Amino acid sequence: MNSISSSSDSLSVPTVSELKNNKIPSHVAIIMDGNGRWALKRNLPRISGHRKGVIVLKNIVIVCKELGIKYLTVYSFSSENWQRPRIEIKGLMKLFLDSLKRELEDLNKNGVRLKLIGQRETIPVKILKTFEHSEQKTKNNKDLFFNIAFNYGSRQEIIDAVKKIYIAAKNNFINIDNMDTKTFSNFLYTEDFPDPDLLIRTSGESRISNFLLWQIAYTELYFTKTLWPDFSKKHFLKAIYNFQKRSRRFGKL
């Protein structure tokens, strides 16, 4: 069973170099929660929290590279988020476009490969083209695989995988009798990267919210009350340190 932990502000945090002496997670996933609440606490429009959240994410990408983490997957926009007020969605779409265009050169220069995971068919054309341009531009980079879950829902991902498997079996591309968990995983949006070792959720909520349900079967879970716009390098290192203290048995003794 995967472990669940909440952060403690009293926890001492080693430096990056000290952490690198122990096991570094290969893949970290993050549910970046609390942008709206952060803004409302300061009597600011919710989009201000999202803008601050983009700055935090940029810093976390840098720390991942420093630590040698190979895969980072962030929950950017869920398929349920379209139900938010229209003015907030409009602001978010503009923020996504502006951020991708502004950061692309730096990401590419630093060896970061971008990938969109989510239902592409229903993403607005302008947004999808920008994502796909970013993917094409960074496709040969190998220092950090940065996966952005956009218009993403894990239940739909699993349904889509089942549909793909049905078509593959119908056309004799696979033998359904040989289906196992590894083969199934190859039909998910995340087919070309490993399952997360660590999942971090900010803002004090202790739920998964339809994120990577299949992939986190043995992932270590870490919840912190810190709102995403306040999530610093220190908070991230604290989560990594907490991960390093755990014993991962994957069902064994």
pLDDT tens for 227-251 read: 999 999 999 999 999 999 987 766 6
74 pLDDT above the threshold of 50:
yes
**Given pLDDT bands bounded at 50, 70 and 90, which one contains residue 204?**
very high
Please state the rounded mean pLDDT for residues 61-68.
Answer: 97
How many Cβ atoms sit within 10 Å of the Cβ of residue 94?
12
The whole-model pTM stands at 0.92
For the cut 50, the answer to whether the pLDDT of residue 205 exceeds it is yes
Is there a contact between 118 and 152 (Cβ–Cβ < 8 Å)? yes
pLDDT tier for residue 13 given thresholds of 50, 70 and 90? confident
| Whole-number pLDDT of residue 12 | 74
Once rounded to an integer, what is the mean pLDDT over residues 80-93? 91
CATH class of segment(s) 4-153+193-244: alpha beta
Residue 209 has pLDDT above 90, yes or no: yes
pLDDT tens, position by position, 29-56: 999 999 999 999 999 999 999 999 999 9
Question: Which run of H or of E encompasses 233?
Answer: helix 233-244
| Average pLDDT for 119-124 | 92
pLDDT exceeds cutoff 80 at 10: no
Selected catalytic residue, list 21, 22, 33, 106: 33
Q: In the chain, what is the straight-line distance between the N-terminal and C-terminal CA atoms, in Å?
A: 11
pLDDT at 194 over 70: yes
Classify 208 as helix, strand or coil: coil
Q: Where are the domains of the chain?
A: 4-153+193-244
pLDDT above 60: residue 7 = no
What percentage of residues in the chain have a pLDDT greater than 70?
Answer: 93
Count other Cβ atoms within 10 Å, centred on residue 6: 12
Q: Do residues 224 and 235 touch, judged by C-beta distance below 8 A? A: yes
What confidence score (pLDDT) does residue 1 get?
A: 42
The catalytic residue among 2, 22, 43, 81 is 81
Specify whether 81 is catalytic.
yes
